[in-house]
Chains A and B, each alone.
Chain A
Amino acid sequence: ILNVEQSPQSLHVQEGDSTNFTCSFPSSNFYALHWYRWETAKSPEALFVMTLNGDEKKKGRISATLNTKEGYSYLYIKGSQPEDSATYLCAFLYNFNKFYFGSGTKLNVKP
């Protein structure tokens, strides 16, 4: 079993704050790194699929970067809103066919 770590485990911020979380993964046999957003009582949904070292992806106020050589990815949320409250999961795709998930960062944005 490969180790994929996310930090912090949980985060409480005020509306308008910017925040970021980290996903660490093995730097060998890298194929892709996915970020998923999981709202309570819903299904996880993909935010970003990142495959190249140095990749930067952006969707609205949310962006992500990838460093495959050192084995980490950052997810940034600019100007957090209450609707951003969710658990953010990263998943490391190993050997083209198996995903290893981190335990997630649970974000709570207070109005």
Chain B
Amino acid sequence: EAEVAQSPRYKITEKSQAVAFWCDPISGHATLYWYRQILGQGPELLVQFQDESVVDDSQLPKDRFSAERLKGVDSTLKIQPAELGDSAMYLCASSSDRFYEQYFGPGTRLTVT
């Protein structure tokens, strides 16, 4: 069964360092989402791509976060510099025309020390 791939699964970094997360959606899924989930909270949308275009990044802290999906397939989310408050699970999801079925990847657990 096709799955959304993410790497790394875990990342520990010191504050002020740069970190990057990678996501490979299910093949053929045009829409890709990055979410941040703080412990005890539901996922919060950071950025949404339709193919290679950003359709929503209203909740992305653009002073330190950036996201790209250059060829409309895999995507990278970067944080520079990382802050203590960035510690969270970063989830990637993808969907096809059946939008309601967003398939989530296993997530990247980020700890900033």
- Do A and B interact? no
Binding site for A on B (CB under 8 A): none
Binding site for B on A (CB under 8 A): none
